[in-house]
Amino acid sequence: MKKLIIVFCVVVFSCNENHKHKTQNTKQIKFENQIVSSDDIEILNEGFKNNWEIIKDEQLSLLVNRDVIYYIFKNPTDEQLKHRFYLHVVIKETEEFINLDFNFNEHLLVSKTSNAIYKIASRKLPLKHILSITTGQVLDGKSLWEVYINDSNIY
């Protein structure tokens, strides 16, 4: 049910605001003082439709689709989002390790429903066949949580 709520919110906000904020050079939709590209909306909808969501717990879901990973938090506190996120990718052919660590608020999209706030961050992934993704959050060199995703969960 929460998948449908997120998708519905993103689609409703985007449809309502698209006419107001569409420009000739970009296909972006503005809502909640953030810019959400129509590509993000399409990728999120496709991922939810195909059940590509990886759920960590009731508050956090991850969705990997195409070359993007989305972190979807339901009603997060500022404390939950302030610590650095790590995103480590291993490429299948070369076993190359790629560090894509980030701060959540630097990649933030926001969506609201009448009874929930969803904060969504997205990160581009390499356009190569990925063997694995390890992601989580770190504080003082210690992992607060971690999720491991292998290639069978990505493709």
Per-residue pLDDT of 104-150, as tens digits, reads: 999 988 777 677 788 889 999 999 999 999 999 999 999 999 999 88
The DSSP annotation for 27-62 comes to -EEEETTEEEEHHHHHHHHHHHHTT-EEE-SSSEEE
Per-residue pLDDT of 34-84, as tens digits, reads: 555 667 777 777 777 776 778 778 888 888 887 889 898 888 998 899 999
Alpha carbon distance 53, 121 (integer Å): 14
Which backbone phi and psi does 66 adopt, to 5 degrees? 60, -120
Give the length of the chain.
Answer: 155
Alpha carbon distance 55, 41 (integer Å): 19
Topology of domain 2-154, CATH: Immunoglobulin-like (2.60.40)
For the chain, the domains span 2-154
* pTM listed for this prediction: 0.71
